[in-house]
Structure formats: structure tokens, C-alpha cells
Structure 1
Amino acid sequence: MVCPGKAECGGILSDPYKVIKIDVNANETCTWYIDKDVDQNIRLVFSYFQLNPSSACDRENIVIYDGPSTNSSFLGLVCNNHDSVPVFESSSNALTFRLSTDSTVFQRNVFAFYYFISPESASIKNCGGRLHSPNGSFTSPNYPGSHPPFAYCVWHIQTEANTRINLTFSEIFLEMDDKCRYDFIAVYDGSTTNSGLIKQVCGLIKPTFESSSNFMTVVLSTDYANSYRGFSAHYTSLRIPTPQPNIFLTCSSDMMTVILSKSYLDSLGFNENDLTLNDPNCKPNASNPVTFSFPFNSCGTIKESQNHSISYTNTITAFPTGDVITYQKSVEIVVKCIMENNSTVEVAYITEKDVAENTSSLGRYNLSMSFYESDSFSSPILDSPYYVDLNQTLYAQVSLHSSDDDLLVFVDTCTASPNSDFGSPNYDLVRSGCAKDNTYKAYPVLEHYGRFSFRSFKFLRSHPSVYIHCEILICDSKDHNSRCTKNCMSRHKREIFSYKWKGDAMVGPLKLKRDHSSMDRSGSSAQVYPEKSQDGQTKSLSILTSLVLVTNAVLLAGLAVKHFISRQQGYRYQKLQSY
């Protein structure tokens, strides 16, 4: 190990190899130029860095350029969200990197080393490779002898689908350092060094690691001093009991949620930092698994209306890094929520030139219906059952819970029934937008709300409750010829105009206050009175007998009248005259 001194803020470096220790504070911009008159490339390794943890990448970073100046082509970026040991290789004998810090008071520490490489020096025997067997072993070059200096070896391990990889090091013997800045092994949970770092290790240890998918990447990096035995490792594949879907999509009434399995992203060589939506400012809400959750009216979501459907579409995009060549595919994951008829159809498909995947599921818009105290629709009735007077004006509102402001709610049909299952008998308040009850009143169509009123009634034949069931149409407010902009229409005419979604809402029961008070007086709880004298009891019994006879006479008369009315009219419900 060579103990480096503190590097100045920037400078020109022409040594064939060098360790650079950088300590900087706030508001500094330092640029280093590596250049030497040789026909070789440069490998630059940032084996340890600690930047301000609260700083965003656009305010504090290390930018690497593939050439002798900051005007050279962009090679890469190092910042807080860099989940790997950053390694860069130039395409010529010159390389530039610039460190910029923001105004936060914090001591930054960066440790890096570089060296020049040629095709001859880069081709070390038994240095890296691809391992495809279910089980296998591999070692550092020259093991159990000393590993070579300036080694950078990458092993890509891939086992069968629906398996994980268990990696065991029977020996690691590298240079001792508490931060593993000189010689180290880096283990990644995926198919590339961009898949997410599991751990960076060194010294004299025997660790074990396990991947989350059937891909794992192992890197050995050494500097120019203090070579030891290196390592010996063995891996096995572990069967995953139940494979998880690559993409899981759900669409609620106002937002969509997309979950991408980490193993799927690993197989493509991407992680959550590589993914963007239509609006690149929208980032994943979680990283394991990678989750996007966003309202329909955000993140660049595109809304389309076609025939009988409204769709919301967004695209998750991942692009490979590099300026010249890449071994990765560009991935576009198109997620779409389609609101149609009685359900929400959710569709996702992927385009990768020769790869396409599809998934779908079902959902619904979120509708609710409530009664209100007045036509201001500001104070909902929270009581259930809702006790009302006969012929009382009732105010009802259907609410659509959605983040899309360009939707209209239209109350198409409402039916009343004494039963919650809406069997016979039933009675129409409105059908196809046409009032069937002479007290029904529809209020003007309003975004997300459908409002109406009617006067309360009761069903005959001693049905104490009334339930209201409504069929609701939802339309795009930008479609000026939609069904929601029309009022009463016959079925034949109604088919000419499109609506975008149809849903149901129910509210009830309604009960009469008279039935409520009567039930309170005749409850099952017994009341205890003081004892009376014998004469008092005899007198009360005579009065009670007279009352029973009078009551029976009244009931017989009422039954006769009711029988006569039902034979003459045949109605199953009763309307009262206005007071």
C-alpha cells in the first residue's frame, strides 16, 4: 500500500499510474487532466467516495470526460445515487474528470487511482468470463499464487430461470484496508456492474452472498502494490419456489401503479436509476421492487378518447449507457389503463425490437352516492337508515373519485325498491335520462358529480324501507357530443351517442319517521309500573276491553277500504298530495 498525499484542487497528471486522495469542502470545482504521450488507454477507479448525502446529482457530482478537456465527449457521472464502484476507461491516452460541490458545509472525501493499459496488459489469463452452469468454481488469476497488479476481472454468472445464486468464498486474501480502497472484490446483484452493489470486500475473510435473481456479477480490482493470494469461490443455484411476474399493473379510480420485479430489470442490465416516465422528473416511489405510482393527470400521462373508452397511457423507458457500443437493449414499457363499460381494463406491453410481453387485469371507477340536507349539497346525511317524512324533498349526489378533472357524471337511470336486491316490486325515478316520477329533478351536469332530487314515498303492502339504485354514465368533458351532454333520450336515439364508462351506485335504506317512532314505543324492553289497588285494576280492565273492541272495528274498516282501493287502482306504491 502506498500512502498518498492530499491532492490539490485539480491539476495535470502524467504519471503512468497514481493514487489520488481528494478532500474538498463546499463551493469547490476541481478539474484533473490525465494525459501521457503513449499509445495506451486509461482506467480510472473511484474505489471510495463520500459526497454530501443531502445533495442532488445535478448540484454535486464528479463528471468524467473521454479526452483532454471538459469539451471532450461525456464518459460518465458519479454522485450520491451511484450504486456501484465506478470504473471508467478512456478510448485514448487522455481523460479528464471534474469534481463540483454545492454550498453545504460538509467534508467530502474521494479516493481514486488510475493506470494506463494496453491490449497486452489487459489480457490477463483466467481473468473474468461468463459462467452458465448450475454450479461452478472460479479463482483470481495465479491463485493460490499472488494476484497480478493492475487487474480488473469481471465474472458474469447466469443460472437457470427461476433460480437464485448462492456465492461462497472459501478464501479472500487481499490488501487490508477498512474502506477497501486499494485491492477489492465487488459483488453485484444482477447481470452487470450497474445492477446494484451487494458489497465491496477485501482483507482476509470468507463471506457468502445470495442474489435475488439468476444473475450475479463479481469484480476483482487491484492496484500496483502489495499482491496477495487473491480469492477462491464456488457458486450454486437455488430454485425459487414461485416465479414472480415481471410487471404488475393496477389501475384505481384516479391513479396507476406499476411494479417491476428486480430480477427482470437485472436480466436487462438496468436498475431503478436508469428508468424514467414520460416526465423524467417522476422517479420510482420504491426501489425493491421498483414501483411507480402516479395520478392519471401527472408524469406526462397521455389521455385518449376512442369510441366507448377512455385510456391513460405512460411509458417507462430505460436506455443503455455508453457513447459507441452497448450490449444492452433499449427497453420501453408501455402501461395503459382503459376505462370501458363496467370495468377498468389494464394493459401493459413491452417493445424491445424482438421481445413483447402483455398483461391485463380488471378494475372499476370509484363511485359513491349520498343524501344531502339541501340543494347546496354541502352537508351529507351520515345516518343509516335515513329517516324521512312522507313527501319530503330528498337531495342525492353521485360522486366520482378520480384525479382526471375532464370527466362528467350523468345519472342515466335510477330505480327504487323496498329490497336491497332490487327484486319486485320496483319503481323508476328516471330512465335513460327521462324522468318517470313527477317529483324527480335533475341538476345541471357537473364535473365528477351527478345530482338530483325527488320527494319521498313509501311502497304499499307494509314495505318499511326504500333503496335507490342508479346507473351512472361517465364521459369526457371535451367531447361536446357525448351522452352526458344530452338529457332525456329514447333507447334508439341514445345508441347514437357514446358514453365512456358505465357504473352503478346504490344508497339506502330510507324509512319513514312515523315507523321509526312507532317502533321506539313498542320495543322489546318491558317497563315496570307501581302496583295498583284491586278496584283500580278492575276499572283499568274495563277500559282496556272497550279500547280493544273499538280498535278491532277500526282495523276491519281499514282492511275493507284498502281492499277496495287495491282492486280499483292496482298500484304497488303510494304518492301523497302536496301539502
Structure 2
Amino acid sequence: MTTQGEFVIRWTPIRDNLGEYFPICFITEGLSGSSVYQSEMRCVVVEVGRRKVKAKVVCDETKMTVEVEKSSVTGIHEDHLRLNDPSNSACDLQRFSNNTHIIGVIPLNACGTQIEEDDDNLIFKNEITTFDNPNDIITRHHQVEIQFYCQYAKRGNVSLGFTAHRDSITVVEKGFGTFTYQFEFYQTSQFTNMVDPRDYPLDVVVKQMLYMDIEAVSTVNNTELFVESCRAAPYDNPNYHPTYPIIENGCIVDETVQIFSPRHQRHFQFGMEAFKFIGMHDQVYISCSVILCEAGNPNTRCAQGCVNSTSPQPAGHHHRKREAAMQTAKHHISQGPLRLRRSSESSVTNMNMGLMVGCIVAAVAMLCGVMLYKDKTSGVKYQPLTTFET
């Protein structure tokens, strides 16, 4: 007995299935009168691949133009998309978009465009990102990201020197002599295994717990360390904008921060969940403002602890403290970078990732545009605050 028919197997994979193979086996049964017929088992192998985004990138000497077909990306609208730096009105994606395409015309020196280089090329990168609140600057959640860049051939060779790990800083102050601040990352909350300086930059994933220890090394007895503020920035510059506050005025700002009891009063040990800055900033530096005080003195900034910025301070308070050499001036110490692995590099792989390349040849160089699309669940929080004060 021979019959023919069509059967449809429906199955929805998840993000973690990207690149994996799944065998699906089945049999068919037929009924003829009182007899039941069964076929041999058949198997098919399904590969979970990447969904292509229909888009193109055109590069010229001063700008990048990117066009994304709306129909190829689910659930995006130009009024909820932005480039790395949305503050410039010239970078508004609604200016050129239409009913069928998201269109961005991005100057090479604006809209948060990042520049990198290798031995042969200059690479200008930017990214289209979804947002819920236009004022958000960081996220611990995944969102839609459409990355693109233009690559320009260059003449000659350029070599860059880069030292990742930040060394300790040594300070000399009247009444405290010579002392040193050290800022290090640790493997666990036990603070027994320090991360090797040769391992920097540190590769971490979003929401991974980070453990940090700041230590004041001093020959002066009866001193204590106070961390007044800590901020995160995509560069090792506390005045760079945007920065994200972790601790402010001695008060915890980030909701994931955990303070640990140190083994000595000249240590400050804390932990927090890793995050990334929204946009193409894939690295994070942590910079803290620290003070060394006379231990047990109730008139020092260390003794005050968390102080609300609106709380009144006694007149001449800081002047008297400095005269009596009860505390040092504020000093800044930083460590990093932390390099945030994207979801395609980590265990949270992404199914909907497309890569598209378009190249044109100009008279002066070869220009290449590349686009990478990531579909993630949207969800951002945190508000921007001011940068470090000098």
C-alpha cells in the first residue's frame, strides 16, 4: 500500500540553540479497515541558524549611511531607536527614515562614532539601539542592537602602546607622610585570590558579580580609609560623559552594590553586578574618590559616612579638619578596563543575528560597511547623573 502526504513540524528554538543541530524523528501510521500500517522511522536534522537582516551600509569620505528594511526586523520603530550619542539633533534617526526603511546618515566625527585602527585600516563604528527611556545610559538587560562600521584603508603603519592594568598611586601629605592607594579586582567575595594584572582587560558578562578591594597602605598607625564616591565610565577619565554613579557622598547608589566587612579599616571591599553602557562602549573603568582619616575622630569625613547632598554642613568644617591634619585631601584611583562580552560571545547566544557587508571603492581608499544585528529583550533603567567634579 502506497500513500503520499505532507506534514508540517513546527518548533520554536531559543537563543541558546544558535548554531546547534537537533535531530527530529517521526513515524506515520495509516488505517485501512481493521489494519494499522506504520512506516519506518524517518529523521531530519535541523540546524538553528541566523536570521538575515536586509540592510546596506554606504561609506564615503565624511559619513556613513545605513539603511535597514523595517520588514526584516521585528518590532522596531524609529522613534524608539538611537545612535551611540543621541544628544545631537543631527543624529536623529527619524530625519531620514520612511515607511519602509530605517535610515541613518552618520558623520564620521559625530553621533558617538568610535574610531579604531589596525595595521592597514581605520575603522569607524556606531550602533543603532532600542530604548524605553531616552535618558538611560546603562543597561543590565539585552536589547536590539544593529552595529555597523566603515573601514578605510590607510597609508603607512601606526603602532599604539597600551597598558591595561592601572598601577597603585603614591601620595605625600603633611601629617600622613607617604602612603599608597591600591585598587584591585578579586575572584570571589572571600577576597583571597586577586585577579592577575596580566589578565587585564578583564572579560566579563552582563550581571556577573564583580568584587573590588581598595586599600590604603600607610606607615601611620590609627588611620582609616573612606570611599566617598565611585563612578563607572567607558574610558579611564572620571570627567568623561556619560559616567554612571555607583557610590555618591558615601551612599550606595547602584542597587546591586554589596559592601563587605574588611579585614582592616584601611580596606574597602565591595561587589556589584557588571553592566554595559548603552551603545558601542564595550569597556568599563571604575574610578573612586578616596580619603584617609585619623581613625576614631568624630570630626572627620570618614566618621560622617553616608551624607545626603542636601544636608547642611557646619560653617568652616572642612577648613578646621584640614588645619588639624585629621584627614587627607580627596584622591582619585581607577581600575580597568572591564571588557563586556556581547551575548554572541557568552553563554547567552543570540539567534537573530545577521551580518551584511557592502563595499564601494572611492578614489582615495576602499570603504567597507558592515552591519551586525542582535535581537534582545528590551529593558533599560538608570538615569544619567553629572560627571566627576575636578
TM bucket normalised to smaller? 0.3 to 0.5
User: Which structure dedicates a bigger proportion of its chain to helix?
Assistant: 1
Asked which structure has the greater RCO (Cα within 8 Å, sep 6+), the reply is: 2
Length-normalised TM-score, structure 2: 0.40
Length-normalised TM-score, structure 1: 0.28
